[in-house]
Amino acid sequence: MQYNFYSFNFIYNLLTHYGTNNIIVMMAISLSMGFFAYFSNNVFLTYVLGCSGVILAMFTLWFFRDPKRKLPAEYSESQFVISPADGKVMMLVEEFEKHYMKSDCKRISIFLSPLDVHVNRHPVSGLVEMAEHHGGKFLAAYKPKSSELNEHSRIGVMTEYGRVFFKQIVGIAARRIVFDIKKGDLVQAGNKFGMMKFGSRMDISLPKDSEILVNIGDLVKGSITPIAILKK
């Protein structure tokens, strides 16, 4: 019993608490499929239900994984902006950010596929001055208009180098945004703050004089990959 308990605890610690409800429901469905497959007299139905249950269980464990990450010491200085998510850099644009920075800025957009780690981490350290959730549509996350039209969060952090603004944006498959920070919180770069469930996009808006360290097509990892350097 002791071995089984610690084995279960070890597996649980590999999964994010942001997805606990989803994990319970999806694993219950998977077990139900296995139950009906076991007692079915139809060979084809047994095969379909059994395989579907295994696939669903594997996808659940994979999607809600929460690998332990530690901010590399060489990027711990506060001028570094660290990737808030795993995924691929899909856009690098200059634009006017109207919600929090209210100035010209550089925006980095990171696309997360359903196979990427979806736990999100703070890209910078500082004081949270904005933390809002906004409902909306479910357009494909790679479309430019999805940044404003889709359901998303708006998070603004005042750093010692100025304001940084970022968004969690849902896509076609993503239907839920979770974040556990509020206005007035002090946050640390690399620490977890939420997740986007089932494929999505993360936008990070930085002061215009920031030095961008990534290119379109680059693969980045949350809490590990530096994506920009802020200037005084």
Instruction: Indicate the residue type of 54.
Output: V
CA-wise closest residue to 166 among 157, 175, 178, 174: 157
Catalytic-role residue among 153, 200, 205, 210: 200
Output the DSSP codes for 31-53. Answer: HHHHHHHHH-S-HHHHHHHHHHH
Q: In three state form, how does the secondary structure of 203-224 look? A: EEEEECCCEECCCCCCEECCCC
Instruction: Indicate the residue type of 105.
Output: C
Establish whether 40 is a catalytic residue. Answer: no
Sheet holding 103-112, edge to edge: 186-187, 126-134, 152-159, 162-170, 200-207, 103-112, 87-97, 219-220
Contacts 24+ apart (CB under 8 A), 72-78: 72/224, 75/226, 76/189, 78/124, 78/125, 78/159, 78/160, 78/161, 78/189, 78/230
Sheet holding 80-82, edge to edge: 80-82, 226-229, 211-212
Q: Which two tokens stand for residue 72?
A: 């590399």
CA-wise closest residue to 217 among 84, 89, 87: 89
Q: Which two tokens stand for residue 47?
A: 């095969």
Active site positions, annotated = 200
